[in-house]
Amino acid sequence: EDQVTQSPEALRLQEGESSSLNCSYTVSGLRGLFWYRQDPGKGPEFLFTLYSAGEEKEKERLKATLTKKESFLHITAPKPEDSATYLCAVQAGVSGGYQKVTFGIGTKLQVIP
């Protein structure tokens, strides 16, 4: 069974204090690894897709990296508006329009001014 484990569960940072969130996964035949951001009471918002080990993607203060067993979301000089829950998800297998996507529980990030 596909598994996604995120750590830490919660992270509190001072504004400007860089850190990383971890996502480790066990999946048969990884098709893609995704990072989403979720604000309280809202639906997850897509951030990145990573397809193969060694791949990196960047968006503003966020940078996602992928190895064969885990992914990191690096947050550089975070601002209070980066406060949210960050979800990691893996896609295993696709046939036609069917894609099995498994989500982790997420890391709740709080950035303090």
Partner 1 sequence: DSGVTQTPKHLITATGQRVTLRCSPRSGDLSVYWYQQSLDQGLQFLIQYYNGEERAKGNILERFSAQQFPDLHSELNLSSLELGDSALYFCASSVKPRGASGRAINTGELFFGEGSRLTVL
**Minimum distance between the CB of residue 46 and partner 1, rounded to whole angstroms?**
5
Interaction site with partner 1 (CB under 8 A): 31-32, 34, 36, 41-46, 49, 87, 89, 91, 94, 96-106
Report DSSP state, residue 36.
E
Burial of 55 (0-12, 13-18, 19+ CB in 10 A): middle
**Minimum distance between the CB of residue 40 and partner 1, rounded to whole angstroms?**
10
Q: Which is nearer to partner 1, 46 or 59 (CB)?
A: 46
Q: Which is nearer to partner 1, 44 or 78 (CB)?
A: 44
Burial of 70 (0-12, 13-18, 19+ CB in 10 A): middle
